Amino acid sequence: MQAAGSGIRARVALAVVRIALALFFLFPLLTALSSSLHPWSSLPTLLPNSFEWQNYRFATTMIAFWRYLGNSALVVVVSVAFSTFTSGLVGYAFSRLQAPGRKPLFMIVLSTMMLPSIVTQIPLYILLHKFGLLNSFVPFWIMWGIGGSALSIFLYRQFFSAIPKELEEAARIDGCSIFGTYWRIFLPLSVPAMITVTMINFQERWGDSITPFMFLSEKKYTLAAALSNIGYTVDGNIELIIQEVTAAGSLLFLLPVLALFFVGQRYMLEGTVSAGIKG
């Protein structure tokens, strides 16, 4: 009986800790939601006295919200699609192809993760200016898409390393080429890793406000750059920011990321666990 009582108390304590942690991490989101429903210039309270749903309408009309959203979709969706596909190819090469210098080259790729992206912004700006590619979406598709990212390549490489060699050998016996083996065997098996890479890349690219601000004009801003650098102000006065509408716009900006997470969280967990099976 004592053991049963101790087990119940332990489960209750664990549940309390989980609820407390959930509330702790949800508090900023709940605060933003509460702020987005307050009347303008009202005193901040935990719950608004009246629910001003029109703040969400103002969030989409006070700036060119839908144009910026379309720019974000065009930049992010295309670059993430490229990155997901090319990262898989590179990860497959590092995992399965035997070539001189493979391991040192893989370490060089991983070392790029330690280089902050802000360090490369000015040299990249000069390079794009010389090639006449500023104020264009093409550089984003190239630098964010083609070639993939170091983290994505690592996840794919680890996932592919855990796949039995017998499947690859059977495909080769059946006459599959290297790419055919990847396309018909490895790619269908890598759906969890693929969804994980897609979610990570989407979240990173969707929230990047610095790069679009540097390389694009105001009309071609992504939504992240627009919310960070234009914002919701009174009569264009940058010192008079409407916090309630800003909170509403931020929550609308967050919706695609939340939707993608809830749809793919199960696959993301499976992909990250599978990637850690074999080093």
Q: Give the distance from CA 167 to its chain's centroid.
A: 32
Contact between residue 271 and residue 192 where contact means Cβ atoms under 8 Å apart: yes
Kindly state which CATH superfamily the domain 64-275 is placed in: MetI-like (1.10.3720.10)
DSSP three-state, residue 237: strand
Q: What is the pLDDT of residues 29-51, one digit of tens each?
A: 888 888 888 888 777 777 777 78
More confident residue, 263 or 17: 17
Beta carbons of 161 and 190 less than 8 angstroms apart: no
The confidence score (pLDDT) of residue 277 equals 46
- Reported as a pLDDT band with limits 50, 70 and 90, residue 81 is very high
Residue 277's H or E segment, with its range, is none
Over residues 129-175, the pLDDT tens digits come to 898 888 999 989 988 888 778 889 998 998 888 888 888 888 888 88
- The domain limits of the chain are 2-54, 64-275
Q: Is the pLDDT of residue 122 over 50?
A: yes
Mean pLDDT of 108-120: 84
Band of residue 279 on the pLDDT scale cut at 50, 70, 90: very low
DSSP assignments along 61-115, one per residue: HSS-HHHHHHHHHHHHHHHHHHHHHHHHHHHHHHHH---TTHHHHHHHHHHGGGS
Planar angle of CA 214, 66, 149, nearest 5 degrees: 45
Q: What percent of the chain has pLDDT over 90?
A: 26
Distance separating alpha carbons of residues 92 and 104, to the nearest angstrom: 16
Reported as a single tens digit per residue, the pLDDT across 184-211 is 888 888 888 888 899 889 999 999 998 9
Q: At 273, is the secondary structure helix, strand, or coil?
A: helix
> Which is higher by pLDDT, 59 or 148?
59
Distances (CA, A) of 32 to 22, 37, 72, 177, 248: 16, 9, 22, 53, 8
- In angstroms, the first-to-last Cα distance of the chain is 45
